Homo-oligomer: A and B are copies of this chain.
Amino acid sequence: MPSAEIITVGTELLLGQLVDTNTATIAACLAEIGIDVFRETSVGDNESRIAQAVTEALARADVVICAGGLGPTVDDLTREGIVASVGTELVLDPEVVFDLRAFFASFGRQMSPNNARQAMFPKGAKILENPKGTAPGFALAVGDKLVIALPGPPREMEPMLREHVVPLLRETFALGQTIATRVLRTTGVSESEIDAKIGDLFRASVNPSIAVLAHAGEVHVKITAKASSREAAAALIDQLEAEIRRRLGDCIFSADGSSLAAVLGGELRARGWTIATAESCTGGLIGSMITAVPGSSEYYRGGVIAYSNEAKTALLDVAAATIELHGAVSEEVASAMALGAKAAFGARVALAVTGIAGPTGGNEQKPVGLVYIAVASEDGRLEARRLHLSGDRETVARRAALAALMLGWRASRAAREDVAADL
């Protein structure tokens, strides 16, 4: 399998003025066609440092892809760095000069002399057209290796990558393989709990391979397979997914990129159900996650953000005595909030959350991170859970919101399965 290195060029990257997204774009594209990347480098707009990085990369990899530094200014030195590294020279391409002149003329401007620099290419290089900008790229064979240069702006670089570079690499290295990936999204379990359950698979699996990635309140298990066709890769993934599901069970909520709110929405839609929310410490986050899904107005009736006790009583009909007796952060209040929201919005299901997000407001009995979630659904069903969540205010809120959505999803599925069993 051929290997590649990526070099991004630009002093703004070294000053932290710009986040480099080109590297990830190029790397993902190479992964798809089965080219391994073992190193990525960023250097500034400096000829000798570019040359040095290219020389080092060529010593290790079959392909070196550079992005950036092909512009018209004297700061753009990628061409010079590459010829210095491989020991050739730059020559002017008259056809590109002609095209550049025509391009500027097309909107009534004269080409500045600087722009002629963009028509200079290493001797023998194949020119890669840039339909979105003035800087063409190029590919230069160096022995049996390849150095490719692309412009830095992502909207110019990306189409050139797909249209010129991928076909060139497929042809040069006779690549037949396809790489497919699938992400199993989970919530309610930690990265190390997942590692404890599937660590052996994780370490033993080469194709498909497994990666475990922690996100805010979620852990993603990513399965990647290489095969000769898309179908064969999917079949490899199916097998491993089944084993992972057997071990991780119901903390997995999607395998197609869907958010938990979208998965819950799909379930509600399948049932023809509506939902409402009653939030305290999540402050509207659950509503915001539910409504981030296009079309959610079909099933989301609305919610109450009951940040004060008075609001819990007035809008959600939580008895003042219940709050008095058990405290606002209690299973009883969470349950009463869920029932209150269900009634207030005339919804078939309602989710409720009450808790202490911190950083203050906790005490020994009720520490920061203590959260109660509840779901009220059909036929007076009511279920509540107590959670101890770690993290800062934002993290606690996010985890609590995801836990409530998960509880709602499970309740909706269980109800559907009940009905199916009855039929």
Interface residues as binary, A351-368 with B (CB distance below 8 Å gives 1, 0 otherwise): 000000111110000010
A25 to chain B, nearest CB (A): 7
Q: Contacts A40-B41, A40-B42, A345-B308 known; A11 to B211 CB distance under 8 Å?
A: yes
Contacts of A41 in B (CB 8 A): 39-42
Q: Contacts A25-B16, A28-B15, A305-B303 known; A283 to B291 CB distance under 8 Å?
A: yes
Interface residues as binary, A187-199 with B (CB distance below 8 Å gives 1, 0 otherwise): 0000111011001
B291 touches A302 (CB 8 A): no
A273 at the interface (CB under 8 A from B): no
Determine which residue in A43, A301, A311 has the highest number of CB atoms from chain B within 10 A of its CB, and name it.
Answer: A311
A78 at the interface (CB under 8 A from B): no
A266 at the interface (CB under 8 A from B): no
Q: Contacts A292-B393, A305-B304, A397-B292 known; A14 to B42 CB distance under 8 Å?
A: no
B308 touches A305 (CB 8 A): no
A92 at the interface (CB under 8 A from B): no
Q: Contacts A284-B279, A292-B393 known; A27 to B15 CB distance under 8 Å?
A: yes
Q: In the complex the two chains form, what is the Cα distance from A279 to B300 in whole Å?
A: 13
Contacts of A282 in B (CB 8 A): 288, 291
Question: Quick one: which of B38, B303, B391, B392 contacts A284, CB cutoff 8 A?
Answer: B303
Interface residues as binary, A201-218 with B (CB distance below 8 Å gives 1, 0 otherwise): 011000000011110000
Question: Quick one: which of B14, B192, B294, B303 contacts A73, CB cutoff 8 A?
Answer: B192
Contacts of A284 in B (CB 8 A): 277, 279, 283-288, 290-291, 303, 305
Stretch of A104-112, A139-147, A318-326, A377-385 lying at the B interface:
A104-112
B212 touches A73 (CB 8 A): yes
Question: Of all chain B residues, which has the CB nearest A369?
Answer: B107
Q: In the complex the two chains form, what is the Cα distance from A4 to B154 in whole Å?
A: 27
Q: In the complex the two chains form, what is the Cα distance from A211 to B16 in whole Å?
A: 12
A53 touches B39 (CB 8 A): yes
Contacts of A288 in B (CB 8 A): 282-285, 287-288, 397
Interface residues as binary, A20-55 with B (CB distance below 8 Å gives 1, 0 otherwise): 110111111111000001111111101001000100
A417 at the interface (CB under 8 A from B): no
Total copies of the chain: 2
A338 to chain B, nearest CB (A): 15
Contacts of A43 in B (CB 8 A): 38-40
Q: In the complex the two chains form, what is the Cα distance from A101 to B329 in whole Å?
A: 27
B302 touches A304 (CB 8 A): yes
A243 at the interface (CB under 8 A from B): no
B292 touches A302 (CB 8 A): no
Q: In the complex the two chains form, what is the Cα distance from A41 to B393 in whole Å?
A: 34
Q: In the complex the two chains form, what is the Cα distance from A310 to B357 in whole Å?
A: 31
Q: In the complex the two chains form, what is the Cα distance from A305 to B108 in whole Å?
A: 29
Q: Contacts A19-B24, A24-B19 known; A12 to B114 CB distance under 8 Å?
A: no
Q: A14-B37, A19-B23 are in contact. List 8 more A-B contacts (CB 8 A).
A: A20-B24, A41-B42, A107-B369, A283-B284, A291-B397, A295-B360, A303-B304, A315-B344
Write 25 A-B pairs (CB below 8 A) sorted by A numbering.
A11-B211, A12-B213, A13-B24, A15-B27, A15-B211, A15-B224, A16-B23, A16-B26, A20-B23, A23-B42, A38-B49, A40-B42, A73-B191, A73-B202, A106-B390, A283-B287, A283-B296, A283-B300, A284-B288, A294-B358, A297-B361, A301-B310, A305-B305, A314-B344, A315-B315
Identify the A interface with B (CB < 8 A): 11-21, 23-31, 37-44, 46, 49, 53, 71-75, 103, 106-108, 112, 114-115, 132, 153, 191-193, 195-196, 199, 202-203, 211-214, 222, 224, 277, 279, 281-288, 290-292, 294-297, 300-308, 310-311, 314-315, 344-346, 357-361, 367, 369, 388-394, 397
